[in-house]
Structure 1
Amino acid sequence: MSNSETGLWLRRFSESPAGAPPLICFPHAGGAASSFVSLSRALAPHAEVLAVQYPGRQDRYRERTVASISGLADAVVRALGPDLPAGCAFFGHSMGAAVAFEVARRYESRPGAKGPVHLYLSACRAPFLRETDTFRPREDGEILAELRQLSGTAQAILADEEVLGMALPALRADYRAIDAYRAPREARVDCPFTVLVGDADPIVPVHDAAAWRAHSRAGTEVTVFEGGHFYLDGHTEALAALIRARTPADRPTA
């Protein structure tokens, strides 16, 4: 998994043993690769965590944002290359879950190519539930109003006007991307899902998250954590333990 775009799109925050199974992590709307630092450290002895860095934030701040889920998925596939490493799994939080799913669909659609072995889909509605939604780009005030409902990372953005000003272009693009995203109920992949959601998430009810089971041919389990949309901020160790338990130790390394 190495080409001219890999280093641009992927970040590694911890060293892992040679042959550790890769876990590619996809951030939420407005988020960056650094949102997975804690999870990377918790999994370092067990998995090689690679976090996707979307354009328009942090060290890619000057780059043009990508305002569609399909555009992000296409770019990530180019960065990862034609073949995923053996034992590779995806973890996506909020908007990142939709991107992870679309990347998995693209790999499975390629003759002879293999998709990820597992999808961890966190704090996100099943995409087929969006089919009847009417798309309308949100104004900045609407985006900020939703962020105020959330806990954790979103509050840190709102608390600092300078950070908020820098984050708004990425937030606008990401909200447009997820609001416009649609996938039919029959859109499925072959790998199993672990769906993760907070019991007090104000924008993703548990039953909307659990509806992801319609998109897997291999089965879905649902795990509910105490907390809101950013429940994972307070459950890093539990989340890492869950991922370790679902990653067999004898994954092939080539």
Structure 2
Amino acid sequence: MLITVLFSILVSSVIATEKDIALPRLNNTKAAEAFIDSAEVVVIGFLEGEESHGYQELVAAAKRVDSVSVAICTVKEVWADYSVSSDTITLFRKADNHQENLDIAEAKKVEADGLVNFITINEVRYLTEYNQVTAVGLFNSEVKSHLLLFANRGTKQYTELQKKLRALAPEFTGKFLFVLINGAVKSNLRSLGYFGITSQDLPRVGIYDGLSDMKWLLPEGEISTERVQEFCQSFLRGELKEVKQAGAEPKTEL
């Protein structure tokens, strides 16, 4: 009797664990829309079911990238709403209203490591911290103008400005990507030098235009929401093209 009870408890525990790692299911377009709208970045596996090629790998990747919510949709009528016709893992992000598709229907091999890379590279947010991984997603975006916050992590200003610019970023969706560059990181010194500043000069705000390969710094002073807002607007109005550029001669990348 005791063995039976213990066996039942063990089986229940295994079932519970399996349920815990199961991905949420989106059964209609309304549910998919709500899920996509629930966060800055989400991933949906448009897969036929849990036996589909790539499902288990997606579950494993979701456990490793806990900053991004992941769900599954097996309803093909919903797939059509997102122009998906075969098994695809799709990342949705608000910062540039972008949908990044990874077609796995024809892939011979799908690995969790590859899916983790796909998610982390494309995890562009309203305020994205610049590093070697996020640089790929930032420069691959169709939005080529970047509002840059140069600040040293660990300072009071760093945290305050982070919150301030993250709150402002949605106003410029599709026009700017807001990027945070930590001046305390040695590998970012090249980016600072490109704008003619050092970590001792921070915090500063700049604009980099990938289309014209031009760059400008917000004049020194308080970094207020209003000043940054007007700085962005002046670029959009074309007024900065008459203003002297910051730092060194233009280059093709930060």
TM-score by length of 1: 0.27
* More strand per residue: 2
Structure of greater relative contact order (alpha carbons < 8 Å, 6+ residues apart): 1
TM-score by length of 2: 0.27
